[in-house]
Chain A
């Protein structure tokens, strides 16, 4: 393809032509763009720089707003960059900062262009070059151009100087060694009188302080001066940001700045500055009561303002205060609760968080009740937001605020019936988790599960399938608490279960299996232990499977008290008669027969298992029911043996399994994993019944329950794990002894919860709000011991996994990892991979170790002296962590010191200068020779 002719360049479309064309095209936008791209590809090869630059401009337009690839233009962009004309340069720089990234191949070639322009006498060219550097800088560019940037830091053109200051941040990030070169000049600029330069410098420091505040403590006097003197709001905001990072580190500093900040808060008219003051006080100066009071007063003004922005920010500030000063929230709780019905979803979410912050174990049930009512009336998004926050608050730290689990389980059941509820998965997890952990709640859990299972309407809602699977599992696993297993059976086999996805259907079938085994077992065992006539005498004559459920219910309620009491014995056994069992067996055959041909392996297999079991037992039951029990004693014994086996297999209790459980199992000698599955029998002999029948119920079901999906290959490990879990559980039982079920519980929790779809009138919202106001007040009454009817049931905890507090420490831990990474880079020294180089400035300065040793204990002791009074617990923790780390090992100590050095290095606040000079020459040879040390 030949280059474009003169005609082409004369009649080249300009950017404006392109834009016009694009807006008026008749051939479709994409077609037009690709046509233009073709033109551009041709034009960009032109030798004429004007043509080339216009092409480049058009291309950057298409790239920027229509997301076309422009990587092919990297080299032409460099060519345009070399043009002497300012207009061309501008276009080229624009294109480059738009499209270049770390892996652009021609990046290496740009260094000299940038250097040339950085040294240009035209301040705008310098500015363009800096701009570009700030965007595309990588390690090489940052290293090679450090001297130029350093020179510009003291340029007498303020315009250039302030831009150089801003770029320094990027250079530091990419090439930490440059800190040694540039830092001193950067600090000198803090004294600059020009507000723009000052603003840029303070901006740089506020970003640096975010990463690693301790390093900048020595500069505090300078920042303080700026804070007090500054008349410029932009600068004040940035200085406040710095102090909010520094103040928690140094109590003396906090004490010093709290007054000026309060003054600022009182005097300023600018909302942004006011807000920054508030935020600084509530985050970093929260132990200064008067300052916090002032800030909360200002927050109240925000909350009462018409402007939704201020309202939102006020709520946010309250949320920060709430961690330490809950009174601030309660003072404003009317506004907070009113905001729950604000038009703005963000404000609603924010006020929801605040309400959740007020939740305590005394008012959790009442607040949840009101919130659930809000949820029923709100739009789907906020409804789920509410439900999600109830779920997460209540489950925090292993349900630490829940005392009455029966209530909580029924709340879970109720929440899943809310029309918009999409939290099915979370509810599912919690239902199973509570079932496993809290023994006492199981009867109620089974009741809730029954209510869910029996409602055919719920099967149609795909969001609820998770909840239903948990309900099915619970009712199968804890069937001994059921008042009416037969009814459960019918619920599990109802025709509408065909709406369920196959995996959940499989759980249904498996649960039906368990329930059936339980029914048969109770029936048979009763026949054995008690005289059959006696048990039959107990039954009202008319009770059979065909009788209405009401009669069952009445009956079992009568027996309810003792039914719930003793684990798996008399409970519900009464209504089970031969006839009802036969009916159930027929029902199973009828319902599952079609599933034998199911395409889903899991469903098919479970159905087969269950039907196989029915085939085994049914003839026997039929005959025995006709001929009386003693007729075929021999066969009977055989059948009851099978039933007993199955029952034993299912009644083995499953507990929560620690994540690290597998690791605790020492590999038995002579066991070769992954070789021969025959070994399984040896390992699992004591878990699985040694029955010869082919039912495979053990491990696959556990998979379902844990929500894990192991591949078949892993079954072996899986079994081993369950082995481990039972032994753990046994150990746990030994340790904690027996827990008693409190009596009469199931009656207390009656059905008095309103149905989910009971839409309240608008007036009720206000009632709700009033309720909430009252309720939240309770959270503040200090330590009022609630009159719990019963003690909080035991929640099974596993050692390692659970004890980790699940509290919301997220941001902190993230920071930790960040500074950890910083430290790594520091000590990883010279060979930092270019991508991972973070902002930490200087892997270099290893020199001032000694000095550091002097200063640190110094600060430390001061801190502890001042901190004893009213320092926040959080800071104390920080500090003690720091100390701990220092104590832990001398090597760590050393690292820490180096870490600090690097900052020390940067402080050139005069005080240490002389010593610095004395020490530095010793170690200079160790540094990379490329960069001259301008500090010397």
Chain B
């Protein structure tokens, strides 16, 4: 995998720049207004590259980059045998590393961290089943599919489907819908029809 040294450097800088425990509560981040279990999901590679983001609370683009920068700094700098929870701005971020990817989910203080760890594991298992021993490259090239799977799993920040088999079945059904549509679209006659229109 290509790895841009500049990028890495920038991340290192931000790492040292962020104090590990910052003041809680920032009015810039208004998510307490909305009730949901998970505020956002992030997948960050070991090099600090973002592989997937899903926001269940409203954030501006600027806030999103800020969140990722801060959390990337905090989480990537944590050693391997530490606990999987980080206090962050009055919220809790539960993360777990699988191979070269960090899966992070942000929850409220009084939510159940272990449950979220299980959700993360669940998500990883489903990805694994879908891609056949998933690796980072799968997620890079099928970024939209990872989303669709996540959407089956979580809705509005709540766990939707706890059965791996069901999720797999649902995704397969939707894939076949997409495939048939694609075949239609790419058939020669279709292209000719387009051209002569």
Contact = CB atoms under 8 A, between A and B. Distances in A.
Given A134-B155, A208-B35, A276 B56 contact: no
A111 to B, nearest CB: 19
Contact of A88 (B36, B110, B181): B181
B194 A48 contact: yes
A203 B37 contact: yes
B17 to A, nearest CB: 13
Contacts of A311: 83
A453 interface: no
B191 A10 contact: yes
B70 interface: no
A210 B35 contact: yes
B140 to A, nearest CB: 6
A173 B33 CA distance: 9
Interface of A: prevailing SS? helix
A15 B2 CA distance: 18
B195 A6 contact: yes
A308 B83 contact: yes
A839 B31 CA distance: 13
B50 interface: yes
B8 interface: no
Interface residues of B, number: 65
A636 interface: no
A67 interface: yes
Interface stretch (A164-172, A394-402, A469-477): A164-172
Contact of A381 (B20, B141, B151, B195): B20
Residue of A15, A29, A63, A309 with most partner-chain B CB within 10 A: A309
A279 B110 CA distance: 9
A86 B181 CA distance: 7
Contacts of A6: 194-195
A9 B197 CA distance: 14
B134 interface: no
B168 to A, nearest CB: 14
A313 interface: yes
A381 B21 contact: yes
Give the size range of A's interface with the partner: 35 or more
A207 B36 contact: yes
A9 B151 CA distance: 30
A772 to B, nearest CB: 22
Q: Which of B21, B53, B79 has the most CB of A within 10 A?
A: B21
A593 to B, nearest CB: 42
Interface string B88-99: 000000000000
A607 B134 CA distance: 72
Given A50-B185, A313-B113, A385-B21, A19 B58 contact: no
A308 B83 CA distance: 5
Interface string A265-283: 0000001100110010000
Given A210-B35, A211-B35, A90 B178 contact: yes
Contacts of A91: 144
B156 interface: yes
Contacts of B58: 101-102
A90 B148 contact: yes
B164 interface: no
Contacts of A276: 112, 115
Contact of B83 (A64, A204, A309): A309
B114 A196 contact: no
Q: Which of B4, B82, B158, B173 has the most CB of A within 10 A?
A: B158
B156 A135 contact: yes
A346 interface: yes
B64 A67 contact: yes
Given A19-B141, A234-B159, A85 B2 contact: no
A234 B181 contact: no
Given A48-B194, A50-B185, A90-B148, A64 B174 contact: no
Interface in B18-68: 19-21, 32-37, 50-53, 56, 58, 60-61, 64-65
A63 B54 CA distance: 12
A132 B182 CA distance: 23
Interface in B112-141: 112-115, 117-118, 140-141
Contacts of B50: 65
A196 B160 contact: yes
B3 to A, nearest CB: 10
Interface string B154-197: 01101111110010001001100110011011000001001100
Nearest to B24: A810
Interface in A1-54: 6, 9-10, 15-16, 19-20, 23-24, 29, 48, 50
Contacts of A20: 141
Contact of B112 (A23, A86, A275, A349): A275
Nearest to A312: B83
A64 B79 CA distance: 28
Contacts of A88: 181
A276 B116 CA distance: 12
Nearest to B59: A101
Contacts of B64: 67
Given A65-B53, A131-B155, A346-B83, A86 B178 contact: yes
A159 B35 contact: no
A599 B166 CA distance: 74
A15 B156 contact: no
A343 interface: yes
B60 to A, nearest CB: 8
Interface string B4-20: 10000000000000011
Interface in B62-110: 64-65, 79, 81-87, 110
Contacts of A169: 35-36, 156, 158
Contact of A87 (B118, B155, B178): B178
A838 B21 contact: no
A69 interface: yes
B178 A173 contact: no
Contacts of B4: 29
B156 A167 contact: yes
B155 A15 contact: no
Contacts of B56: 135
A60 B147 CA distance: 11
Contacts of B194: 6, 9, 48
A61 B166 CA distance: 27
Interface in A205-228: 207-208, 210-211
A16 B141 contact: yes
Contacts of B85: 309, 312-313, 346
A162 interface: yes
Interface string A128-168: 00110011000000000000000000000001001100110
B2 A24 contact: yes
A779 interface: no
A588 interface: no
A166 B156 contact: yes
20 contacts: A15-B144, A20-B141, A57-B144, A64-B53, A86-B181, A90-B174, A101-B58, A101-B60, A102-B58, A124-B170, A134-B155, A134-B156, A135-B156, A162-B160, A203-B159, A208-B35, A237-B112, A276-B112, A308-B83, A381-B19
Interface of B: 1-2, 4, 19-21, 32-37, 50-53, 56, 58, 60-61, 64-65, 79, 81-87, 110, 112-115, 117-118, 140-141, 143-144, 147-148, 151, 155-156, 158-163, 166, 170, 173-174, 177-178, 181-182, 184-185, 191, 194-195
Given A275-B114, A309-B117, 16 more contacts: A20-B141, A64-B143, A67-B64, A86-B178, A90-B148, A91-B144, A94-B147, A94-B148, A134-B156, A169-B156, A199-B159, A207-B36, A272-B115, A346-B83, A346-B85, A818-B32
Interface of A: 6, 9-10, 15-16, 19-20, 23-24, 29, 48, 50, 57, 60-61, 63-65, 67, 69, 85-88, 90-91, 94, 101-102, 122, 124, 130-131, 134-135, 159, 162-163, 166-167, 169-170, 173, 195-196, 199-200, 203-204, 207-208, 210-211, 232, 234, 237, 241, 271-272, 275-276, 279, 308-309, 311-313, 343-347, 349, 381, 385, 814, 818, 838-839
